[in-house]
Amino acid sequence: MADLFDVTFKPVDGSLSAEALLESAQGQDVLVSSINDKLDAALIARLPRSIRLIAQFGNGYDNIDIEAAYAAGITVTNTPSVLTEDTADMAMMLMLALPRRLVEGAGVLTRTGEWPGWSPTWMLGRRLRGKALGIVGMGRIGTAVATRARTFGLHIHYYSRHRRPPQVEEPLEAHYWEDLDAMIHEVDIVSLHTPLNATTRHILDAGRLRAMKQDAFVVNVSRPELIDEKALIGEIEAGHLSGAALDVFENRPAVNPALLALARSNHVVLTAHMASATLEARLEMGETVIVNIRAFIDGAQPPHRVLPEGKGRLARG
């Protein structure tokens, strides 16, 4: 970026306060944001007029009020595709880690050092093969997860706004559910791969969590707000759900102490928002940001423009 543009980098590899962000945006044409930057309507209204493009470094863009940016004539772009495979790997890893007691088993050697030695009943987990996986959101990442899961012998079920064509469904032998509630009853694992917006916030609410099978579990590498986290904790504590494997949690970077306690008692596996954290993904995300900026500056339609719901691909801000 520094070779191509006149760039001001933020001093730290973390979050900026709203004031610091606004200050750093002074005199700039483009703002490169990430999930940590809360660009809500109030902040967008205060951005300097010079900002014409918000180039998100990330696939998800729920930190940005897309409607407000559009109304202000600011183009928004994201970096889809380049983190699909890594994110799907992480979902698969979490899906295996919980029933096969990976964290607990590794901890015996590295944390407690108290290994009694092998026995027939030592560290019994649950088999993944043959279980039913319910995928919520069968977009790029959901489909990549389904492809992996099928290879592991899981039966693929999915709920999505739109049914996928036979070319997608048939190789996966995927069963489409029009009704999420109906799917929830039937599956052993629910994995979330849908963007966060007003309709998907708490898509796994208390009622749906309660409706899941008793020994089912939840995987989330998407956004924490898709799950009613308090209800999830309550259901696991009450033994109504066998657990959860989560890469994301509400009120990040803090973690609810009750969730940590469940992780310590091995009902929950927690990783720290690292599903797309590979060097390759980060480099490709950066390259995608650059491509979006270059196209925009050259007066072309950036390839990964994000538009508000209902606005056509060719609509311009």
> Which residues of this chain interact with ligand 8YV, rule CB under 6 A?
34-35, 57-60, 83, 275-276
- Which residues, in sequence order, are CB contacts of 53 under 8 Å at separation 6+? 29, 30, 31, 74, 75, 76, 77, 292, 293, 296, 302
Rounded to an integer, what distance in angstroms lies between the CA atom of residue 138 and that of residue 160? Answer: 6
* CB of residue 193 to ligand 8YV, shortest distance in Å: 11
Give the β-pairing of 305-306 and 75-77: antiparallel
Q: Which is nearer to ligand 8YV, 28 or 87 (CB)?
A: 87
* CB of residue 239 to ligand 8YV, shortest distance in Å: 31
How far apart are the two ends of the chain, measured CA to CA in Å? 24
Rounded to an integer, what distance in angstroms lies between the CA atom of residue 188 and that of residue 2? Answer: 48
Q: Which is nearer to ligand 8YV, 34 or 271 (CB)?
A: 34
Determine the residue type at 307: L
In the bound complex, which residue of the shown chain has the CB atom lying closest to ligand 8YV? 58
Q: Which is nearer to ligand 8YV, 141 or 212 (CB)?
A: 141
Q: Which is nearer to ligand 8YV, 186 or 284 (CB)?
A: 284
* CB of residue 83 to ligand 8YV, shortest distance in Å: 6
- Burial of residue 204 (CB within 10 Å: 0-12, 13-18, 19+) is buried
* CB of residue 184 to ligand 8YV, shortest distance in Å: 24
Closest residue by Cα to residue 246 from 223, 269, 215: 269
* CB of residue 198 to ligand 8YV, shortest distance in Å: 18
Q: Which is nearer to ligand 8YV, 140 or 148 (CB)?
A: 140
